Every structure is written in C-alpha cells, then in structure tokens.
Amino acid sequence: MTRNEAVSLIRDKILESRRIAITSHLRPDGDSICTGLALEGMFRRIGKQARVINHDPTPYPFCHMPEAGRIRIGQIPPRGYDLIILLECANVERSGMKNLGRIFKINIDHHYSNDHYADINWVEPEAAAVGEMAFLLGERMGIRWTPEIAGHLYCAVVSDTGSFQFSNTTARAFEVCHKLVKLGASPIKTTEFLFNTNSPEKIKLLAQVLSTLQINRQGHIATIAMFKKNLEALGLKEIDTEDIMTLARSIQGIEIVLFFKEMGRDKFRVSIRSKGKVNAAAIAELFDGGGHVHAAGFTAIGRHERLTKEIPRKIEAILKKERRFSRKEEHPSAPTD
C-alpha cells in the first residue's frame, strides 16, 4: 500500500468514526505524547469525540503541559470506542492495552520494526516523527489548524529529531515545521520547554552517568550506565536521558553509544545510538531488540561488568565482518584476505 492509499483509508475511517481513542507505546516519549494531543485536537475540531489514553503516565517535562491533564492513564475500555489509533507501537503489546481484539485499529509508526498488525497500517520509517505523519494526515483531512495543535506537532518533530540534529532530519521535516511555525507553533517556547527545564538533580545524574564512561580499544564504542541507586539517591523516577547519550556520542571517533539502564537485578535496558553507516536497529535485532537506523534498544541479562565487556566485543566482531564484506562489494576484484 502506498502512503497516499494509507492516508486516504485513514482519513475515511476517521470521518466515519464517532468515538476515537488514541494511544501510544509504554513509557511514552515527546513525539507520541504531543502527536496524541494534536490528533485529539484535530478530531475534536471535526466534531469527533476523541481522547488520548496511554498505559503509562506522562513523563517530565510533558506532564507540565497544560493539556497533559487531558490524557487519561490506564486501559482503553473494551466498549465505547469505534476506532483506536496506535502511535509508534510495533504491536498491540507495545501499547500495554488489553482486550482491544474487536475494535478497528490504525497503526501509525515511523520505526523499521513493526508487525503491521492493524486494520490499516501506515508505517513510514523515512518520517522524522509520527508528528510529521499526523500533520500530513491533517492536511489531507483539511483540518483548520490552531496554534495549539501546530505547537504540539512542532514539539513532536523537534523532540524526535533532537532539535533537527539527528539523521532523521529531512527536508520534509523542515517543510512540515515551516508550515507549523506559520500556523502558530513557537520555536523559542518549544526549545525552552524541551531543553531548558532541567532540574539540578538531573544535572547531578548526568555527572554520575557520564562518570561510568568506558570506551573500547578501537575508540568507536562508548558505554555508559545508570543504576537504580543513582536515581533513588537523587529522588528521581523515570527520566529522559537522551541528552546524556547525545553527550557520549559527541566524543570524536565514537560511532556507537550503549547506554545500560538497570531495570532490576542483573537486568538492563540497553539503548543504542549510532552515527554514520552503523545500523543501530540491525545491532539491536541481534540481541532480540529493535528500533531505528540510528536509535534502537534491547534487553540484556547479566552482571554489568560482564555485559559492558561482552556486548561491545560482539558488536566489534559484527562490524568488522560487515566492513570487510562491504569493502569487497566496493572492490570486487580485491584479493580476499
């Protein structure tokens, strides 16, 4: 199905629906939260009953948006909605929602790994954010925009592109943001809100996490770690750590950052960020995870000391093999070694 076909089907389904629930993945991020609120606003403008219902609470700083109070936390009731839109969910389980079996589902995502499980699937890995996709949908629906809706979509794109720094920053992302600013989104307000609201505890945490920095001998894989005790000592709960990874990735020569977040005893969520030709999603898949080309993740079980040695070593071996292979591809007549 082409994008055009998917967007038309989605538009028609929305128009014929009365009560629409919008949900996103567990531990929702700026893109999924702001896009959810924007879609809710868009659908209400065309007379629909719409509501964002997320399984997990809204994290900082998004919980401080005045509209965050509109988000319901919990389960989508099995009756009462005739359409559910799932944002950035590779499968229904990712939403944390149960008993959605019979309700019509639309799956909107910009990640490579997606099970295409819904009645309509619009999966576009080239999109910078689902916020960008929601804007294209709104244009097709002829939505009369408000500064509030434009602001949410702009915030979604800025948040997912790391303020237009990541590799997903495309001409179309700029084009969409250009239109959103014209429609009333405020770049300065968004930047202040997203990036200049750190608490002192967050900066102390940043220092602790960066002090765990290890770099492999070749100098291209950086490892950092965050333990539960770090968060507890500072009285922090779930916290956005994207900026900490961005700092580790700013080290010259670093192509991959592995961020180990302790989830439980000997259990870590490992976030991967990569640069250039290194495919983070492909690496994550080797460890049963998934994600984007430059941002992915997986779960690892074992002692931290052992994992931070073994995992970079495995990745080194894979990269070495891949690079030898691609060199041969580029120079087919080169002697094999």
User: From CA 299, how far away is CA 260, in angstroms rounded?
Assistant: 9
Q: Burial level of 179, CB count in 10 A (0-12/13-18/19+)?
A: middle
Stretch that binds Mn ion, among 9-17, 27-35, 52-60, 144-152 (CB under 5 A): 27-35
User: From CA 16, how far away is CA 82, in angstroms rounded?
Assistant: 10
Q: How far is the CB of 150 from Mn ion (least distance, A)?
A: 18
Stretch that binds Mn ion, among 43-51, 60-68, 159-167, 296-304 (CB under 5 A): 159-167
Cβ neighbors of 149 (< 8 A, separation 6 or more) are: 38, 41, 42, 45, 138, 143, 183
User: From CA 37, how far away is CA 51, in angstroms rounded?
Assistant: 8
Q: How far is the CB of 109 from Mn ion (least distance, A)?
A: 8
Decide if residue 40 touches Mn ion (CB under 5 A).
Answer: no
Q: How far is the CB of 168 from Mn ion (least distance, A)?
A: 9
Binder among 17, 31, 37, 114 for Mn ion (CB under 5 A): 31
Decide if residue 160 touches Mn ion (CB under 5 A).
Answer: yes
Cβ neighbors of 148 (< 8 A, separation 6 or more) are: 41, 67, 184
Question: Coil, helix or strand for 269?
Answer: strand
Q: Which residue is nearest to Mn ion (CB)?
A: 31
Instruction: CB nearer to Mn ion: give 31 or 67.
Output: 31
User: From CA 104, how far away is CA 254, in angstroms rounded?
Assistant: 45
Q: How far is the CB of 179 from Mn ion (least distance, A)?
A: 19
Stretch that binds Mn ion, among 79-87, 138-146, 155-163, 206-214 (CB under 5 A): 155-163
DSSP letter, residue 227: -
Decide if residue 132 touches Mn ion (CB under 5 A).
Answer: no
Count of residues near Mn ion by CB under 5 A: 3
**Residue with token string 């500072």:** 234
Q: How far is the CB of 84 from Mn ion (least distance, A)?
A: 18
User: From CA 108, how far away is CA 90, in angstroms rounded?
Assistant: 9
86 with 99: CB under 8 angstroms? no
Q: How far is the CB of 111 from Mn ion (least distance, A)?
A: 8
Question: Which residues of the chain form contacts with Mn ion (CB under 5 A)?
Answer: 31, 129, 160
